[in-house]
Amino acid sequence: MKSKLIVIACFAAVSIQAFAAKPTSKSISPDLFGIFFEDINYAADGGLYAEMVQNRSFEYSPSDKGGWNSFTSWEYVAWGFGYGTVSVESSSPVHPNNPHYAVLNIEDAGKEGIGLKNSGFDGMVVKAGEKYNFSVFIRQLSEQAVPFGVKMYNKKGKLLGETTIATDSKDWKKYSASLNITQSSDTAELVLLATGKGKVAVDMISLFPEKTFKNRPNGMRADLAQTVADLQPKFIRFPGGCLVHGDGLGNMYRWKNTIGPNEQRIAQKNIWGYHQTAGLGYFEYFQYCEDIGAKPLPVVPAGVSCQNSGGTWRIGGTGQKGIQLSEMDEYIQEILDLIEWANGPETSVWGAKRAEAGHPKPFHLKYIGIGNEDKITPVFEERFRQIYAVVKAKHPEITIIGTVGPFHSGEDFMQGWKLARELEIPMVDEHYYESPEWFIANQKRYDTYKRSESKVYLGEYASRGNSLFNALAEAAFMTSLERNGDVVLLSSYAPLLAKTGHTQWNPDLIYFDNYKIAPTVNYYVQQLFSINSGDTYFDQVINLPKDSTVAASCVRNSKNGKVFLKLVNVGKTAQKVNIDLTGISGFKSKAIKTLLTGAGDAKNTFENPQNVVPVKSEIKMKRKSEYEIPAMSLTVIEM
């Protein structure tokens, strides 16, 4: 957490008022604050997934994005008077799931060789003194073996590192080599150069930094994965969003396509207008959850495609389509297999595949989402009912999360809730993107939800902006989530990541490019709630003036015994509140205050990423005190 620690001892202002009521407490969800990950805005390929080669398997196509093809992001190079040809073929691929590959026919390698150059996702970032792991699949098509040079250059043509490999197989074979980089660059390029006469097929040309997050192979970009981990999310929902139910039935996210060796995974069009390699697949998601202590929350399609399929976002298109009813048993089995893959013993069919991938122990899957903000039509309902009945019967230990449409109200919301009540679905996923004013005005939303009905996962929400005011409106709303943490069990801001120049959706929580990361003010709000969360909520501790601009909550975390007060002021003037801690056992005066404040329109940017960040200081609390909440601020007091 990027925060400044100012160690000053001060007293909270004291103008004591007597409180009539004793605090009442209730248990709330310990998993309330998590994250939502979707491969939108280049969040996975070109983002969190550390693969540096773009279009590594020559699978890009115009259906991913107009103008793209198998050779997108590649350049044929013939240096030093060499000559030959390059073509893209598909007759004998490395695996049927990965049909395209390049064929190099080297007539004369010249002085330096001929081959292929890749400039990555807007250039590759390499650091002097660090190692990069190169790999490629090659099939020798000519009698003679073909030697290769693997080189990295900066834009000015300076060599940054090099290694060599030599082919020795007429079958597809994986070759690996390590590149030592001698000079840093933000815009490096990778070149694979055949330096002898012959003919070869090449595929899966890949380059990863050795230092991925936790040094995982096929891993994640370390700095970005750490920034996400610093949110200390209690759960991670993946792989989306609209990406889950996909752009038509053939584009739904099918988890089995995303596990196993990379060359056997099935890449496909990304609904957000680019390409998903599936290199960041279910194994990597579950592994990351475990690495950062978050519960996995996979969402699977409810047997229907996205209602916005085939058209511009929310407009036109072919609409929602359902899997043939005759194929539903097979589809439901796919979901049961996922649960076995995650939780089954290594002796089970799917547990064995998890073990084969390097994780013999179960992943302890507890939650599963079925559907993503689907239109609640008869086509949806019929399939959802079937999936729900089987998963519930076979896995009572798993909490199933249903869906109630894309908005906080309206037809789908009502129909979704009607179905949830009828089927007694344990939890439903609500989504809303609204103005900050809406969030401020709707803080009582969950106060009246029936505790006996389905619980709520607020799976996607954001207040349409990244200013401090937006973030504070979300903070005010989040105090109401804590107050209602007995009915809202999970929540996640959306979307999480956005790469500059490749952003389809704004606002997002974390902006990044290839080498910089700018967490938004909203990020710090999410972080402050997550790292200071509790499992017991206390009422009556903070006495708020009526009709004011403030919101507050008080929780205790039984794991560390700490009590957290959160005080939010979305107004332009400071506001006084009375705090009465007399009913809270184990009171100690020493406390840490974290303050997030600034101008209402202040934002964090790449140029000024630390414009609004939390500032810590030591304070002494009294059992009864008056506290002045600064204008436009969130204060967290940790006792």
Cis, peptide link before residue 296, omega less than 30° from 0: no
Residue 104, interface with ligand AHR (CB under 6 A)?
Answer: no
- Pair of tokens at residue 118: 């890749």
- Output the smallest distance, CB 126 to ligand AHR, in A: 32
Give least dist CB 235 to ligand AHR, A: 16
Using CB under 6 A as the binding rule, whether residue 38 contacts ligand AHR is answered as: yes
Active site residue 628: no
Determine, following the binding rule CB under 6 A, whether residue 405 of this chain makes contact with ligand AHR: no
373 interacts with ligand AHR by CB under 6 A: yes
User: Residues 106, 146: contact at Cβ < 8 Å?
Assistant: yes
Stretch that binds ligand AHR, among 76-84, 130-138, 229-237, 238-246 (CB under 6 A): 238-246
Whole-number Å distance between alpha carbons of 432 and 416:
15
Residue corresponding to tokens 């401090």: 468
- Nearer to ligand AHR by Cβ, of 307 and 480: the residue is 307
- Closest contact distance (angstroms) between CB of 309 and ligand AHR is 13
Shortest Cβ 271–ligand AHR spacing (Å): 8
| Of 36 and 537, CB closest to ligand AHR | 36
Looking at residue 344, the DSSP 8-state letter turns out to be S
CB of 256 closer than 8 Å to CB of 337: yes
Closer of 240 and 296 to ligand AHR (Cβ): 240
Site membership for ligand AHR, residue 369 (CB under 6 A) = no
- For ligand AHR, the binding residues in 242-261 under the rule CB under 6 A are 242
Minimum distance from residue 381 beta carbon to ligand AHR (Å): 19
Q: How far apart are CA 548 and CA 265, in angstroms?
A: 55
Binding span for ligand AHR by CB under 6 A among 160-168, 234-242, 556-564, 599-607: 234-242
**For residues 65 and 61, what is the distance between their CA atoms, to the nearest angstrom?**
7
Member of 406, 436, 485, 519 binding ligand AHR (CB under 6 A): 406
3-class secondary structure per residue, 469-498: HHHHHHHHHHHHHHHCCCCEEEECCCCCEE
**Binding flag, residue 372, ligand AHR (CB under 6 A):** yes
Phi, psi angles (nearest 5°) of residue 473? -60, -40
Q: Name which position in 239, 241, 279, 416 contacts ligand AHR (CB under 6 A).
A: 241
Tell whether residue 39 is a contact of ligand AHR (CB under 6 A): no
Crossing angle of the two packed helices 328-343 and 282-292, in degrees rounded to 10: 40
Q: Which is nearer to ligand AHR, 495 or 534 (CB)?
A: 495
Rounded to the nearest whole angstrom, what is the least distance from the CB of residue 227 to ligand AHR in the complex? Answer: 19
For position 308 contacting ligand AHR by CB under 6 A, the verdict is no
Distance CA 53, CA 37 (A): 22
In the bound state with ligand AHR, the residue whose beta carbon lies nearer, of 209 and 246, is: 246
Chain center to CA of 590: 37
| Candidates 134-142, 219-227, 235-243, 287-295; binding stretch for ligand AHR (CB under 6 A) | 235-243
The β-bridge partners of 360 are none
User: Per the residue annotation, which of 59, 373, 482, 638 is the catalytic one?
Assistant: 373
Residue 168 CA to residue 175 CA, distance in Å, equals 10
User: Of the two residues 140 and 463, which places its CB atom closer to ligand AHR in the complex?
Assistant: 463
Among residues 357, 458, 494, 497, the one that binds ligand AHR under rule CB under 6 A: 494
Sheet of 542-543: strands edge to edge?
542-543, 575-580, 624-629
B/e letters for 557-576, b = 16+ CB within 10 Å, e = fewer, are beeeebbbbbbbbbbeeebe
Residue 240 engages ligand AHR in binding (rule: CB under 6 A): yes
Instruction: Collect all residues with Cβ–Cβ distance below 8 Å to 86 and sequence separation of at least 6.
Output: 76, 102, 103, 104, 105, 116
Please tell me the number of Cα atoms within 13 Å of 160 on its side-chain side. Answer: 27
Nearer to ligand AHR, 267 or 299 (CB): 299
Task: Give the angle 240-493-315 at the CA atoms, nearest 5°.
Answer: 55
**Minimum CB–partner distance for residue 471 and ligand AHR (Å):** 17
Least distance in angstroms from the C-beta of 362 to ligand AHR: 28
Number of residues that bind ligand AHR (CB under 6 A): 13
- By CB under 6 A, what part of segment 496-515 binds ligand AHR? 505
Residues annotated catalytic, as ranges: 373
Q: Give residues in contact with ligand AHR (CB under 6 A).
A: 38, 40, 240-242, 372-373, 406, 431, 460, 494-495, 505
